[in-house]
Amino acid sequence: MKQDEKQEKLRAEAENLLRSRMEGIGEIWKNECEGTESEEYGPLNEYGLSFDYVEGGTDYNDGPWYYRYQLSWGGPSEEFRFFCDPGDKCYSIVFAYRDWFCGEDIELMGNHRELMMEIFYEWFVEMGATER
């Protein structure tokens, strides 16, 4: 398979996974706001693996720093990256999908961006997860 075809296939996988994840996270957040729990996904505090700060300018991340909401790890892995200014004002959210030695980043737009922005401020910031 040619490199372009591999990247197109990876992009399609990432887009499908993002749609699926956003559907689940949307249901979880709706239930969280209503004080109920999703039977299929459980509560928000049990969804995903971690939320942490990733330093920029390092061997691991040579780009800017960001907050990572990691959903899965290994091959493949997936996470949301919240890029913020020094005052924690979020200016970009990216869904990062990695499958061994290749990856795909999708910047969130529209409803997906609005939902994750709401969760970032009303869940992660409010609970103190962004304090460094």
Domains of the chain, by residue range, sit at: 3-125
C-alpha 123/C-alpha 126 separation (Å) is 5
Phi/psi at 76 (5° precision): -85, 165
Instruction: Give the global pTM.
Output: 0.89
| pLDDT computed for residue 3 by the predictor | 67
CA 3 vs CA 6, 7, 8, 96, 98: distances in Å:
5, 6, 9, 19, 16
**b/e map 32-69, b = 16+ CB within 10 Å:** beeeeebeeeeebeebbeebeebeeeeeeeeeebbbbb
DSSP string, 48-93: SSEEEEE-SSSSS--S--EEEEEEE-SSSEEEEEEEE-TT--EEEE
| Spans of the chain below 70 pLDDT | 1, 3
Give, in degrees to the nearest 5, the angle at Cα 24 between 93 and 74.
65
The alpha carbons of the chain give a radius of gyration, in whole angstroms, of 15
The pLDDT score that the predictor gives to residue 95 is 94
pLDDT value at residue 76: 86
